[in-house]
Amino acid sequence: MATITECRGALDRLSDNLARADGGVRGAAALDRTLSCHITDLDTTFTGRLADGRIEVLDTVQGPPPAKAQIRLAMSGDDLVAMVGGELNFAKAWASGRVKLEAGIRDLLRLRSLL
């Protein structure tokens, strides 16, 4: 089971990957939205912002997200680490229910190139 430190590291690597992306991926990540990522098996939520093509984690809280972020993710820590490491395909994990993504329709349309 992934630790909180490993999950935070995975989010930092994802942020670095988004910052280095080009073309459509960079454009999709250029949103300015609040973000939460609930790690279900650790019952921990990372909260922050997706802004300027980077994920900025501002807080780590125990339990579910304390406020409704504009983009909300939920998954196990192992799935987060595997996705960022390229071992788990986001679209397949999302379609199978292993990963949950909630956002407004416009944000989902912009994020589709990231998925």
CA–CA dist 115, 113 (Å, integer): 5
Q: Mean pLDDT check: name the lowest of 8-12, 25-29, 49-53, 92-96.
A: 25-29
Residue 78 to residues 4, 81, 89, 104: CA-CA distances in angstroms? 10, 5, 13, 26
CA–CA dist 15, 56 (Å, integer): 8
Whether the CB-CB separation of 41 and 3 falls below 8 Å is answered with no
Mean pLDDT for 62-75 is: 96
Q: Would you say the C-alpha torsion 84, 90, 96, 102 has a positive or negative sign?
A: positive
CA–CA dist 76, 99 (Å, integer): 8
Q: CA end-to-end span of the chain, whole Å? A: 24
Mean pLDDT for 10-35 is: 78
Mean pLDDT for 76-92 is: 95
pLDDT value at residue 101: 94
